[in-house]
Structure 1
Amino acid sequence: MASSEVFVLSRPHGTVRGEGVVRSFTDVDEASAALRAGEVGALTGAIPFDLRDPAALVAPVRLRTGEAPLPGTGPLSRRAVSTVSHPARDEHRERIAHAVKRIVAGDVGKVVLARSVDLVLDEQIRPAEFLDALAGGNADHNAFAVDLGAATGSGSWLLGASPEALLRKSGSTVTCHPYAGSAPRSADPVVDRATAAELAASTKDLAEHAFVVDHLRERLGHLCDDVDAPSTPQLESTGEMWHLATPIRATLRDPATTALDLALLLGPTPAVCGTPSDVAAQIIRDVEGDRGFYAGAVGWCDAAGDGEWMVAIRCAELAADGRSLRTWAGGGIVEHSDPQAELDETQFKLRTVFNALGTPLADIVN
């Protein structure tokens, strides 16, 4: 990653890089208007989970695309000298149990609750080497890096290896690939296959996934014709998790609709928020506080309105000192959720960042 780069997104179909800064935006509506008016030629960056919070979007000097993903590297070799979980595991279980009660009472259909972990490392890491380690940690070489400081002045970076595409737009074609419903991978192939089969048949996970697909169908229907979403999800895997996923394809009525417009319309989905979205989002804010960019979106949009936005999960915010970072993991809570199983799921999801750092998961985050 060159020193001038403020954005990198690696995907199986290629890598997009943003170099330099022409203009920065913390207001998503202002950024969208500038793109539509032709005042900027492209936008890259991050959208927060709650759109009332500041964004981190920039118009780069140059947007470069390549046909290959990042090759990636092996894990780094960092040790955590301090690790603090928010909340502690007992409190997270209590939050989940309370959420289930609200679901049973009919207050909300699903809510996604997350926990975060703050780490201080023994040595600094550079965003470029962290990005490469994240890209090397999954078979699809998914990875992203966003210089938050380029827009906010914070000096921090958001880096991750999200497997979930919120949307991709090319001309009038829009594709989405939502993930919801998951189970941990196993090193034992027999156990791993059994886990995958159990997930594919899980009433709880299929219901959780259906919330997300229904949301995307409904939102896309406002702007698109021919919204095609299979009735049965498929199994997808990362290094740490099995997921239920559904490929969705739609045709825009107005090709001038931009990828950024779509990202603002579609996110946050029930995969990271819940349903009804307004009720779930308020529960999340009351319980977790400000999520910042976690579970928001990271991506890019060019002058033609084409682009791609990923759900900002399996990620970490690296502070300007290069040693302090925060990472997150969450899970969708529905009526039949088990608090201990949901806690365990966050533990497995945290492995994406911890594995890239080469840092063992400490007991404090169990």
Structure 2
Amino acid sequence: MTASVEVINPGDVHTRAKIRAVFGGSPQGGICPSGHKNSVNLYSDPDVGEQAGYYDGWLAEQDDLGPVFEYTGAGKSGDQTFDGTAGSGNRAILRHAEQGRVLRVFTRVGKIPGSGKKTHRYLGMFTLDGMQPYVWRRVHGEDGQDRSVIVFRLRPDGTVQHVAQDVIPPAEETTAEFVAYQAVTAAMFQSEPATTGALPLPKQRVRKGTSGRKATPNAETSGTFVVPEAFGTKLSIRAATAATIAVRHEAELTQAYQAHLESAGHKTGAFQIKVKGLTSTLRTDLYDATDHVLYEAKGSNSREDIRMALGQILDYSRYIKTSEHEGEPKRVILLPAAPTPDMYTLLDRYDVQVVYRSDDGHFVGPVAS
């Protein structure tokens, strides 16, 4: 008879049977929702992850909001998804907050001698990062095939166990890998259909008879988002915070320009960058493989966003090298409206160009044709 466990604290080690007695969930699988316990239990097995081409664990690098635990979604072969039966576990993580559930993370420790039963260590409660809930990442699977996986970014929700053995190993060398352009959808923020129509884009004004480099009033900025984005559905006004509005504007802009490049016959994608000694993985917004151009998109033309974009594109571009093109790529910042003249002056100093979208939806600047 299994002994009862009333409380499980971060750092405690138990079998799955004992964990289920407290937090519910299924007896097998990596993502185990429990409706009656209001929990989504996430089991990580380092050995399985390495064979499948990824690591779960803490990033050694923290940002202003604190530590991040990366957890790779469900699906051991082929591209992972949020759709259908195959994506049910990934949807459970994505929608945990709106369904009133908490995320609980467990990592495999070993086995009970003589029984073969696995033991798992409880790390604590988590929630999805509000600004960047997940990223797409290209990995080399155990079958030798490349595939796209969903990497969830988890933030501690209360006391958690944060120990060195759970930190993702740092990259042994710096690499920059060309990967397919990957869409991120509006589902990352809410799953209900829009009920109040599309959110308005920032107002863009260009004086008649002026060149494309004339300034427009700065649009307000509320946040920054730096992974490939493309929204195909609308957010509801009720669900949209200032940060998600900024993210959506950036995503729509990136999607529109990527479609423009594709319609002109250009091959597009992104670069996935690992830097020696770091545990985090960088990913560029958009790369034009035909003309060797790197793009960094922002959701507003504010000074803050432009300065952020400048730093990012200078950082990323030094890693981008291909056999088809010599030297570093051209650097272009993609904006929803023209920047002020002094921002043009700043960008000219670093040989960074600008493409922006005009009132009529056309792109102005060194655009592909």
Q: Could you state the TM-score of these two structures normalised by the residue count of structure 1?
A: 0.28
Bigger share in helix: 1
More relative contact order, 1 or 2 (CA 8 Å, 6+ apart): 1
Which entry has the higher C-alpha Rg, 1 or 2?
A: 2
Q: Could you state the TM-score of these two structures normalised by the residue count of structure 2?
A: 0.28
